[in-house]
Amino acid sequence: MAVAIFLIFLAIILIYLLQKRPTKYPPGPRKWPIVGTLPSMKKQPGDSPFDLTERLRKKYGDVVGLFLGPQPAVFINGYKCVKEISNMTEFAYRPNILTPRHEMFQEKRIGVFFSEGERWRNQRRFTLRHLRDFGFGRRTMDQYIQEEFNVLVAEVEKFAAENPGQQETGLNLMDLLPAVAINTLWYIIAGVKHDLHDENFHHLTKCVLKFFRLGDQNSPVNFYRVLQHVPVINRVYQEQRRCAEELNNFVMREIRAHKKNFNKSNVKDFIDIYLKEMQQDTTGFFTDEQLTTICVDLFLAGTETTASTIGFTLRYLIKYPHIQEKVRQEIFGVVGKHKAISMEDMPNLPYCTAVLTESLRHSGVTPFPPPKAPKEDTFFNGYLIPKRTMVMVNLRSVLMDEEYWGDPENFRPERFIGPDGNFQRDERLFLFGTGVRMCLGEPFARNTTFIFYTSLVQKFEMAIPPHGPKPSDETLPGFTTSPAHFKISFTKL
């Protein structure tokens, strides 16, 4: 009897300790032993990818303390907190979660996304500097983007010629956009462009999209490692792993080919310049593994985000034909009907710029960027954030803030046109994140999405196909968001 009472007493103490929140930890739902706050984080039927986070913020405020099973996680909302934490170098680290992409590299903190401290600073700086040397974000880049755009136009025209009924039923451009998007970037990285009909390349881009769509930062499989080996439960994890492995093998093949033909007096692309640096490196940061991981990171980061941004923008344009027409009239007035659009035209195309900006704001392609973490216990906003806590920044809470934007749910590009008719920036436009870990690909992404979407409007009238499925407003969840597939009817102008 005494033993039983003792065991019950012990169990009560254990349960109490397991559900106790650390002192000064941010407020949040009740913490349960083993599962943490997960029971309070269930999605409800009909929830959009953002409803749960909205509910949590409304109830607990801008800094919410969660436990994804054993993993402490803090959720940051609102302009002030998002800006402040993103600027703090103390939070420029990554949590101890195990994603398939991470596991593939034996959990080493390498590449750009997962590296930290001096290695991250060094590799990020090098990557950015040399991508720029090869045209990234510069005027020379326009030419690569235009070439790829011409390939896309040829595809659309071929499809129209082969399918006389396409104007009635429409074409799904979302099948082509990822390959087109990565081709432009991959030319700078590896000096090669792939045929859009190359089966292997097409399969690879599909794999990357799948990797993003299956992504779930809150999945228990990321925190309970044992679940990664449990059949059925580990299905998504294993699928993501297969995709990551395919991409890894593709990149390693490319690097091997570069090594075979390497000539240090004739560096042609980013891989060549990295191989050259490896020969003279004294820091120890420039390794084969690091090069592979950077290329994988750039491929992953550059394919889906760029394609989804163009996709969302086209969806708005067919949904709101008067906006499409206004974009076209501005292009015809400034650039004309035939001259190729370049980034030099951007300052003279304020409405076109406003439409792309509003598309990025309204769609929120990356509502929750890769989680950050403090390396040591750190105070933020009066709360104690234990070391390696997963810090999830809610960019959408800034981009859709009702108090600030007034009507954030409305797609209204005019909000970015100033009284003088020029494009008006806004300090709250964290479209590519903000602070020390801000997107490395922003200049490239802006140029590519701008030239692609405006050039399509210049060449085609795009509409909802009269006899095809109507585009839904659905936003697909994942590591990023994407428009549900939809079809467009193209009429050559």
State CA 71 to chain mean position distance.
23
DSSP per-residue codes, 90-159 = GGBB--S---HHHHHTTT---TTTS--HHHHHHHHHHHHHHHHHTTTTSHHHHHHHHHHHHHHHHHHHHH
| Binding segment toward ligand HEM, per CB under 6 A, in 50-58, 262-270, 362-370, 411-419 | 362-370
In the complex, least distance from residue 304 CB atom to ligand HEM, rounded to whole angstroms: 9
Q: What is the DSSP code (8-state) at residue 475?
A: E
| Cβ-contact 368, 394 below 8 angstroms | yes
**124 lies in the binding site for ligand HEM (CB under 6 A):** yes
Applying CB under 6 A, which of residues 81, 400, 445, 462 lies at the interface with ligand HEM? 445
Applying CB under 6 A, which of residues 38, 66, 112, 346 lies at the interface with ligand HEM? 112
Applying CB under 6 A, which of residues 151, 233, 278, 439 lies at the interface with ligand HEM? 439
CA-wise closest residue to 160 among 149, 172, 171: 171
**456 lies in the binding site for ligand HEM (CB under 6 A):** no
Applying CB under 6 A, which of residues 41, 174, 365, 398 lies at the interface with ligand HEM? 365
CA-wise closest residue to 304 among 348, 235, 366: 366
- The rounded distance, in Å, linking the Cα atoms of 251 and 258 is 11
| Cβ-contact 212, 205 below 8 angstroms | no
**56 lies in the binding site for ligand HEM (CB under 6 A):** no
3-class DSSP state for residue 246?
Answer: helix
**26 lies in the binding site for ligand HEM (CB under 6 A):** no
Applying CB under 6 A, which of residues 142, 297, 345, 358 lies at the interface with ligand HEM? 297
The helix or strand, by DSSP H or E, that contains position 383, with its residue range, turns out to be strand 383-385
Applying CB under 6 A, which of residues 362, 396, 412, 437 lies at the interface with ligand HEM? 437
In the complex, least distance from residue 122 CB atom to ligand HEM, rounded to whole angstroms: 12
Tokens 């692609």 found at: 452
Binding residues for heme: 439
Applying CB under 6 A, which of residues 438, 466, 467, 492 lies at the interface with ligand HEM? 438
Between 220 and 408, name the residue whose CB sits nearer to ligand HEM: 408
Site string for ligand HEM, 306-335 (x = CB under 6 A): x--x--------------------------
**185 lies in the binding site for ligand HEM (CB under 6 A):** yes
Q: Which amino acid is at 462?
A: M
**89 lies in the binding site for ligand HEM (CB under 6 A):** no
| Cβ-contact 431, 357 below 8 angstroms | yes
Number of residues that bind ligand HEM (CB under 6 A): 28
Between 160 and 457, name the residue whose CB sits nearer to ligand HEM: 457
- Both ends of the chain: CA-CA distance in Å? 89
Phi and psi dihedrals of 290, rounded to 5?
-65, -40
Contact set with ligand HEM (CB under 6 A): 86, 112-113, 124, 185, 297-298, 301-302, 305-306, 309, 365-366, 369, 431-435, 437-441, 444-445, 449
